[in-house]
Amino acid sequence: MPTRNFLTVVNRLSPSVPGCPQPIVEQYVRDAAIEACERTLAWRYVQPAIRLSAGVYDYPYEAPDDTEVHAVLTATVNNTPMTPVTIEQMYDLFPKWPNQSSDEYSEPRYITQFDVDNFTVAPIPDSVTSYDVRMVVVLKPLRDAAGMDKTVLDDLENVIMHGALQHLLVLPERTWSDRELASYHAKQFAYKIAERRARVNLGNSRASMRVQMQPFA
C-alpha cells in the first residue's frame, strides 16, 4: 500500500502554530492520526490467511510495517464465520481454556484480540484438518511511525489537523497559544470524527433507501 509521510500534514499545519518546532508538530499530528484511526475505524486491512497449528491457541497478527491492530472487524475459519468475544466471555464458554486437554481440541469457532499484536482462538485447534483464519482488521500507526496509508491519510487529513491543533494551541506559555481557537478545533475534531465514523459504518453508496412491504402470513 502506498505510504504518505506525516510531514506533508505538518507543512500544511505549521502556519497555524508559527514558531512551533517541526518535531513537536509532527508528534501531535501522529497522535491525532492514531486517535482518528481508533475512533473512526477507517483504516481497514484484509490480512493474509493465517494457518493455525494443532494445540496452539495464540497467534501474531500479520499487519503491515509501522502499524498495529486496533480491532478485528470480521474473521472466518475455513470460510465459516467466527464469533468475536472478549477474554471474559472466552472463559465463560470454555472454563479450562487455554489449558484444555487434547481430546477437547476441535475446530475454532471463537476469536478474541489478546493485545494489539496477537489474537487467540477457541476451542484450541485439533489436527483433524488444516484451519485457515482470514480477517479484516482495523489498523492504526505506531507511536514512532513516520507515515501511514496514503488513501486513509488523504481522507482523514482535515480531521487529523483539527485533532492536532486542539492540543498544540493549548500548550502553555507559547507564542502560538490560543485557547479560544483550540476550542474551535476541538469541536471540529469531534464533529468530523463522528461524520467519518458514520460514513465508514454506512458506506458511501448513493442509492436511496427503500421500504419494501412484507406480505402478511
In this prediction the pTM is 0.87
Taking only the tens place, the pLDDT of each residue in 18-60 is 999 999 999 999 999 999 999 999 999 999 999 999 999 999 9
CA 64 to chain centre: 13
Single-letter amino acid code for the residue at 129: T
**Higher local confidence (pLDDT), 187 or 207:** 187
pLDDT tens for residues 56-82?
999 999 999 999 999 999 999 999 999
Looking up cell 486542539 gives 166
Positions of E strands within the chain:
3-5, 44-51, 58-60, 67-77, 80-81, 83-84, 110-115, 118-122, 132-141, 147-149
97-101: average pLDDT: 91
All residues at 6 or more sequence positions from 108 whose CB lies less than 8 Å from its CB, including other chains: 52, 77, 82, 121, 122, 123, 124, 125, 131, 133
More confident residue, 52 or 216: 52
Percent of the chain with pLDDT over 90: 87
Instruction: Provide mean pLDDT across the span 199-214.
Output: 58
pLDDT (tens digit, 9 = 90+) per residue, 117-164? 999 999 999 999 999 999 999 999 999 999 999 999 999 999 999 999
- In this predicted structure, the answer to whether residue 216 has a pLDDT above a threshold of 70 is no
Closest CA to 148 of 65, 211, 60: 65
Give burial (CB, 10 Å; 0-12/13-18/19+) of 122. buried
* Residue ranges of domains in the chain: 3-41+141-201, 44-139
Q: What's the pLDDT tens digit per position in 172-188?
A: 999 999 999 999 999 99
In angstroms, the first-to-last Cα distance of the chain is 51
Cα separation of 3 and 153, whole Å? 9
- pLDDT of 209 higher than 60: no
Contact yes or no for 139/69 (Cβ under 8 A): yes
Q: What is the pLDDT of residue 200?
A: 78
Whether the per-residue pLDDT at 208 is higher than 50: the answer is: no
207 pLDDT more than 50: no
